Amino acid sequence: MNKKKVLGAVYTPSSFAKYIADKTKNYYEKINGPFTKNTSVLDPACGDGELLKEIYKSTNGTSQLFGIDLDAEAVKASSSHFGKNIVNDNFLVPNGLSFLEGWKKLVSNKNFPSSFDIIIANPPWGACTQSYKEKLKLNQFELMTRQADTSDLFIEASLSIVKENGIIAFIIPDSIFALERDNLRKMLLSKCNILFLGRFGEKLFKGVNRACAVIICQKANPNLNHEVECLRLVKNSRDRILSNESSFSLEEKLSKLNIKQKRFLENNNYQFNLELVPQHEDLYKSFKNFPKKIGDYLTSTRGVELSKKGNVINCVNCNYWQPLVSKKDGFTCKHCGHENLISSCEIDCIISPTVKGKKIIVGEHITRYCCSGQLFIDDSKTGIKYKDPKTYLEHKIVVRKTGLGVSATIDYSEAMTNQVVYIFKVREKIQNSIPIEFLLMILCSRAVFFFIAMSGGEIEWKSHPYLTQSQLLNLPVPNLLEKYIENKKFIDPLAVELKKLISNYKEIPVTLDAKIELLVSKIYGFTRADYEKKYAMLKTAENLKPIQALKRVSIEQIFRGTE
C-alpha cells in the first residue's frame, strides 16, 4: 500500500494552512488573551509541519510548538524547523500503549506538556489501522465504532489533553456531516462551544477526491445561546480560490452565517445542517412537525450484494462464489475462511446485457420517475447473496442510493436489483388503501428535496454522495391515508398517467410534473411563498442533472390558475 493509503496522510496546502492557523489564533486570543511564550500548541499529526509553520508566523514566533507523527520522514522534515519538540510516534497509541498510559510516558520522556492550549491538526483520514489494531483496542475511545474514521479518534484523544477553554482546530473529512457520524457530533456539542464549522467540498487537496471540513472548538461547558460561525464553500467559490482570483478569507466574508449551537443539539442525529439559512428555518420546522413518517407507509430493503459490474470469484476449497472486490493477489473466502490465490480461482461476470437469468436494475438505470437500460443476472451461483425471491415480487419503488436528491421510480416487472438500489414496498396492511404511485410523487417532489437538503443532504457534486434508507423512511409527511381519501379524485388520474409513462419507460413531461407538484403542495399545505424559498435553495445547488430536472418546472407552471 502507498503512504497515503496506509497513513491516511493528506498534506495541507499552505494557503489553507494559513487560513486555519490565523482563525485558530484569533479565536484563542478572543477567549484567552494574547499569545505568550508559554502558550503551547500541538499538532498530533504534524506531517511536514505546515500548520505549525503557519501558527509560528501568525503569532510572530510567540508560542511553544510541539508535533507528533507516525511517518519518520515527515518527522525528519519537521524537526529541521522545530527541533526536538517533534516526535516520531503514533498519537493514538503512544509508545505502543493505551492513549492515556502512553501519553503519560511520552510527557515524562520527551518533556511534553501534559495538556495544551491549542491542538491543531489535519489528522489521518481513513488510515489503515491494521498494524496497530490490537493496540487500539487497549483504548476506551467512545468513538471506536465500526464506522469510525481515524480522524474521529484524533479528535476524541485531543479533547482529553486540551486545557479548559483551550482550542482544537481540525481539518477532517466531510463525513462529519453524514448521518452515521452522530456520535462524533454529539461529543463535540456536549463538550465544546463550536466556534467555526466549515464545509469546504472537494479539490482543495491535490489528488484527493474527498470533500473536507473544518471544525474549531473551545473546550468548555456549551453555552446554548452561543452562535457558531458557519461556512458552506460552494463550487464557484472554490474555483475562484483555486485559480487565485480570491482567498478563503474573502469568500468567508461573502458567505458566512451564524447558527445557534442549540439548533444542532435539537436536530435529529445532531445534524450539522449548514444549508438551512435563517430565513428558511420556519418552513423547515413546519415540515418537521408533520405527524407521520414515510416509513409508516413503506418498508425498505436492498437487493443483491453485488456491484453493477457483476464480477464474482469461486473458492477452490468450498466451491462457493463471492463478489470480486479487488485486484489483489489473494482473498479470504467469506464462507469457509480459506486463503485463496486469485490466479488459482475461477472468475465470472454474472451481470450482462445478454438475456440469461433474471432482469436486474442497477443504480445508474434509475432517474427521477424513469428507469432506463436493461441488464440480466445469472442467479444460479451458490454463495452469492441474491436475497429472498419474495424481495423482488410485487410493485416496488426503487431508489438510487448514490447521487443528489431522490432518484426514484416504480418497477412493475418484479426485476431484481443490486445493493445500491433501495427497494420500498407499500406496507401490507395498507396495500389496497393507497396507490404506490402517490407515494412516489411524494418522494420525487421538490418539497422533499428541500427537506433532505436542509437536513444536511448534498446540494453539489462530490465523490459518492448518497442517501440512506433511514433518511428516506424518516421523511415527515401528513397523514397520507386521510389525504388520499380527501384528494382521491385528483390523485387517481395522475397515478394512472404516471404508471403508463413509467411502464413504457417514458420521461415525465413538464405538464404532468407541474400537476404532481401542485398536488404535493396541497397535501403538505405549502403555499407559493413557501415554494419561492424552495426555489431560492435550488438556485444555490450545483446545476447537475438531478437539479436540472427539478428546475425545468417553474413556480409559475406549478401554481398557474390557482391564484
Distance CA 288, CA 12 (A): 39
Tell me which residue of 47, 149, 140 sits closest to 100, measured CA to CA. 140
pLDDT at 209: 72
Q: Is the pLDDT of residue 54 over 80?
A: yes
- Region 328-342: mean pLDDT is 90
pLDDT at position 144 over 90: no
Q: Band the pLDDT of 461: cuts 50, 70, 90.
A: low
- Grid coordinates representing 186 are 454529539
pLDDT of 381 strictly over 50 = yes
Statement: residue 319 has pLDDT above 80? yes
| CATH at residue 90 | 3.40.50.150
Task: Give the model's pLDDT for residue 252.
Answer: 94
466 lies in some domain: yes
Q: Is the same domain home to 47 and 196?
A: yes
Q: Bigger pLDDT: 185 or 13?
A: 185
The structural domain count of the chain equals: 2
Which pLDDT does position 344 carry in this prediction?
92
289 in a structural domain: no
**Angstrom distance (rounded) from CA 231 to CA 539:** 17
Please determine, for residue 9, whether its predicted confidence score (pLDDT) is greater than 70. Answer: no
Could you list the beta-strand ranges (E) of 502-542.
Answer: none
Please compute the mean of the pLDDT values over residues 103-132 and round it to a whole number: 85
Q: Write out the residue range of the structural domain in which residue 391 sits.
A: 298-304+359-378+387-559
- Percent of the chain at pLDDT above 70? 94
pLDDT band at 414 (very low <50, low <70, confident <90, very high): very high
Band (pLDDT 50/70/90 cuts) for residue 373 is confident
Q: How many CB atoms lie within 10 A of CB 512?
A: 15
Backbone Cα Rg of the chain: 26
- Beta strands 64-69 and 86-88, pairing class: parallel
Q: Which pLDDT does position 512 carry in this prediction? A: 97
pLDDT at 10: 58
* The predicted structure's pLDDT at residue 372: 87
Residue 374 has pLDDT above 90, yes or no: no
pLDDT tops 90 at residue 462: no
- For the ranges 65-74, 140-149, 344-353, which has the lowest average pLDDT? 140-149
- Residue 532 in any domain: the answer is yes
* pLDDT for 270 beyond 90: yes
Is 226's pLDDT higher than 60?
Answer: yes
Specify whether 220 is located in the same domain as 363.
no
Task: State the pLDDT at residue 277.
Answer: 84
What pLDDT is stored for residue 465 in this prediction? Answer: 63
- Which 3 state secondary structure label does DSSP give 88? strand
Whether the CA torsion 95, 97, 100, 101 is positive or negative: it is negative
Alpha helices in 271-403 (DSSP H): 281-288
Q: Is residue 246 part of a domain?
A: no
In a domain, 546, yes or no: yes
Which residues, other chains included, contact 561 with Cβ-Cβ below 8 Å and sequence gap of 6+?
Answer: none
Tell me the mean pLDDT in the region 307-326.
92
Q: What is the mean pLDDT of the chain?
A: 89
Selected residue with higher pLDDT from 1 and 290 = 290
Q: Alpha-carbon dihedral of residues 169, 171, 177, 179, nearest 10 degrees?
A: -100
Q: Give 8's pLDDT tier (boundaries 50, 70, 90).
A: very low
Could you report the per-residue pLDDT of 540-556, keeping only the tens digit for each? Answer: 777 778 888 899 999 99
Q: What is the mean pLDDT of residues 438-452?
A: 95
pTM confidence score: 0.83
Residue 493 domain-assigned?
A: yes
How large is the average pLDDT for residues 494-523? Answer: 96
513 is a domain residue: yes
Q: Is the per-residue pLDDT at 563 higher than 60?
A: no
For 398-410, the pLDDT digits (tens) are 999 987 789 999 9
Crossing angle for the helix pair 528-540 and 446-454, to the nearest 10 degrees? 60
Percentage of the chain modeled with pLDDT above 90: 65
pLDDT at 167 over 50: yes
Which pLDDT belongs to residue 455?
84
Angstrom distance (rounded) from CA 409 to CA 395: 11
CA angle 489, 494, 496 (to 5 degrees): 100
Q: Is 316 contained in some domain?
A: no
